[in-house]
Amino acid sequence: MKVFVIGANGKVARHFADFAKEDTAIEEIAMIRHTEQAGFFEERGIETVLLDLVKNSVDELAEAMKGVDAVVFSAGAGGSGFDKTVLIDLDGAIKAMTAAEQAGVKRFVMVSTFRTGREEMAKKNGLQIYTIAKNYADEWLKNRTQLDWTIVHPGILVDTPGTNQIKVDMGQEINEIPRQDVAHTLVSVLHNDNTIKQEFEVLSGNTAVEEAINKLQ
């Protein structure tokens, strides 16, 4: 399957690229903003597309998505201010959804934020605007599109090596998860149609990634 990754140069998405390189069923197309980011993907035999989620139009995004089977949205403003957060995490996400529908792509996987304790966590970490933007983007995806969506809500992201062990559910207490394990989860989601129209929180746990995703109902 051809997978168009938005926010491909982010930390989670770079791990996804490593998994995609080894997965014969996934052919990634990485959307990047700067030419100097291309080397990482070229080393892995991954095609890149130079586009800016904020500056480029829906039509331009849709043109780049033609012929792909799925979109993974892993972009984020990364706490770079109110304006960029709204433009990327809310408006940019909706542009990506609109472009996917325009291009005839059905599958859309959203990397969102943790839901349980979201308000408290936002206040504690100064991420109120980010979490609000993500929330409304999620709601738009679920209620304003005809896409076959999956929304993944990771816990606190850390850069420790992945364990390939997770737990998934809604309503869990906040905890950590390595970015590598989130990327592994995204790969498993793409391989499992049972995740369509599902949203779930993912944390470090004691169940193998594939097993945990296969059990989703």
Spatial separation of the C-alpha atoms in residues 189 and 213, rounded to whole Å: 7
Specify the 3-state DSSP secondary structure of 163.
Answer: coil
Active site residue 136: no
Question: For residue 30, what is the enclosing H or E element?
Answer: strand 27-32
Spatial separation of the C-alpha atoms in residues 60 and 139, rounded to whole Å: 24
Vertex 41: Cα angle to 16 and 45 (nearest 5): 100
Identity of residue 64: A
CB proximity list for 105: less than 8 A, separation 6 or greater: 4, 65, 68, 69, 70, 71, 147
Identity of residue 31: M
Cβ atoms of 101 and 34 within 8 Å: the answer is no
| Catalytic residue from among 130, 152, 183, 189 | 130
Spatial separation of the C-alpha atoms in residues 190 and 194, rounded to whole Å: 10
Cβ atoms of 178 and 158 within 8 Å: the answer is yes
What are the residues facing 150 on neighbouring strands?
109, 198
User: So which residues are the catalytic ones?
Assistant: 130
